[in-house]
Structure 1
Amino acid sequence: MIDHERDLAHVREATERLLNAAASLDNAAAAEPSRLPGWTRGHVLAHVARNADALVNVLQGRPMYADAATRDADIERDSGRPLDVQLADLRETADRFQAAGAEPADWSRTVELRNGVTDSASRIPFRRWVEVALHHVDLGVGHELEDLPEEFVQREIDFLTERFKGLESVPATVLRADDGRGWTTGGTSGGISVMGPATEFLGWLAGRRDGSTLKTEGGPLPELPPL
C-alpha cells in the first residue's frame, strides 16, 4: 500500500539535498550544460520548480499544465534567472507542494496528469520524489544514481518496468539484479535477459544511462520509448 505521508517526507528530504547541492553553484555554473541534452542546469532547476506547481494543480483538481507549449515556455523563461532567484523559487514551490499534500483529501481518488495519464492521488508524492531525485542527478554536481536511497531505486524500477509492460515494441525482457532481485517488462514476444546492478537498471529504464555495462542474453538490450 502506498503511504503518501511517508513519501511526502521523502520529498522533503530529497528537496533539501537538492537545494544544498544547488546552493554550492554560482550563476556561471548554473548556466552550464546539465546532463540532459539541450538543457542547462538552470533549465533543470526551473523545471523542478514548475513541476511542483504542476503537481499542486493535479492535487487540487486543475490541469497539470495549460498545454505543452506553455510548460516548455515557462521552463525556458525561468532557466536563465540568477541562482538566488532559482533557489528561492525552488523552496517556495516545494513548500506549496508540501502544504497541498497536508490538506485533508481522499488519497484514493483518481487524478489526471499530462497527456491523459491518470493515477491515484496517493502516488503523486512519489512522482514528485522521482522528479526531485532524478533531476538532482541530472545537475551533474556529484550526486549519482548510486547515492539514491535503496527504497527509491526499488520502487522506481518497479514503476518503470510496469510502465513498459505490455508494449509490443519492447521485447519481453527479464531483469536479473546482482543481488537476486528480478523484474519483467516489455511485450509478449522476444525473450531477453538482462543482468547487472539495480542502479544500472534504473539508469537505463529512466533514460539516464545507455545500459552499456549491462549484460544480455537472447539478444541486444531493447530500445525503450522515451518517458
Structure 2
Amino acid sequence: MIDHAHDLACVRDATERLLTAAAALDNASVAEPSRLPGWTRGHVLAHLARNADALVNVLEGRPMYASAGVRDADIERDAPRPLDVQLTDVRESAARFQETGDAPADWARTVELRNGVTDSASRVPFRRRIEVELHHVDLGIGYELEDLPAEFTEREIDFLTQRFSGHGDVPATRVTDGTHAWSTGREGAEPEITVSGAPADLLGWLAGRRDGAALKTVGGALPQLPPL
C-alpha cells in the first residue's frame, strides 16, 4: 500500500540533501555539463523547480505543463541563472509542493500527468522523490546511485520494471539483485532472459543512467530498453 505521507517526508529529506550538496557549488560549476546529455547543472536545477510546480498542477487538477514546448522553454530560460537564484527557486517550489501535499485531499483519486499518463494521486509524492533522488545523482557532485536509500532503490526498480512490463520491444525478462526478483518486458511467456546484479547497477540500467556493463545476463543479450 502506498503511504503518501511517508513519501512526502522522504521528498523533504531528499530535497534538503540535494540543496545542501548543491550549496557547495559556484556559478561557474552550475554552468558546467551535468551527467544528462545536453544539460548543464543549471538545466537540472531548473527542471527540478519547474517539476515541483508541475506536480502541484497535477494535484490541483490542472494540466501538468501548458505544453511540451513551454516546459522545455521554461527550463532553457531558467538554466543560466546564478546559483543562489537556482537554489532559492528549488527550495521555494519544493515548499509549494509540500504545502499542496499536506493539504487534505482524496489520495485515492486518479490524476493525469504528461502525455495522457494517469496514476493514483497517492503515487505523486513518490514520483517527485524519483525526480529529486535521480537528478541529485545527475548533478555529478558526489552523490551516486550507491548512495540512494536502499528502500528507494528497491521501490524504483519495482516501479520501472512495471513500466516496461508488457512492452513488446522488450523480451520477457527476470530482474534480480539476488534477494528480490521482478519481471518485465513482454507478457504471456516465461522469462527469456535473466538480468542480475547489484541494486544500484540494476537501477542505473533501468533508469538509463548506466549501460548495464556490470550486470550479468543469462539466456540472451542485455535487453535494450525504450527511453523513459
TM-score (norm 2): 0.98
Secondary structure of 1:140's match? coil
Counting only pairs closer than 5 Å after superposition, residues 18-37 of structure 1 correspond to structure 2 as 18-37=18-37
1:78 paired to 2:78: yes
1:129 paired to 2:97: no
Secondary structure of 1:119's match? strand
- Unpaired runs of at least 5, structure 1: none
Aligned letter for 1:107? W
**Deviation at residue 109 of structure 1 after TM alignment:** 0.1
Counting only pairs closer than 5 Å after superposition, residues 1-227 of structure 1 correspond to structure 2 as 1-178=1-178, 180-188=179-187, 191-227=192-228
Aligned letter for 1:208? R
- Report the count of equivalent residues: 226
**Deviation at residue 195 of structure 1 after TM alignment:** 1.3
CA deviation digits over 1:170-210, x for unaligned, max 9? 000011213x2111100045601111111111000000101
CA deviation digits over 1:75-119, x for unaligned, max 9? 000000000000000110000000000111000000000000000
Identity %: 72
Secondary structure of 1:58's match? helix
Aligned letter for 1:62? R
Separation in 2, partners of 1:186, 1:106:
32
Secondary structure of 1:126's match? helix
Separation in 2, partners of 1:175, 1:56:
34
Separation in 1, partners of 2:166, 2:196:
21
CA RMSD in angstroms, aligned pairs only? 0.8
**Deviation at residue 41 of structure 1 after TM alignment:** 0.2
**Deviation at residue 65 of structure 1 after TM alignment:** 0.0
Secondary structure of 1:115's match? helix
Moved over 6 A (4+): none
Secondary structure of 1:225's match? coil
**Deviation at residue 5 of structure 1 after TM alignment:** 0.5
Separation in 2, partners of 1:80, 1:147:
28
Secondary structure of 1:194's match? strand
Aligned letter for 1:195? S
**Deviation at residue 168 of structure 1 after TM alignment:** 1.2
Separation in 1, partners of 2:200, 2:173:
17
Separation in 2, partners of 1:160, 1:187:
14
- Unpaired runs of at least 5, structure 2: none
CA deviation digits over 1:130-182, x for unaligned, max 9? 0000000000000001100011001000100001000110000011213x211
Secondary structure of 1:108's match? coil
Secondary structure of 1:183's match? strand
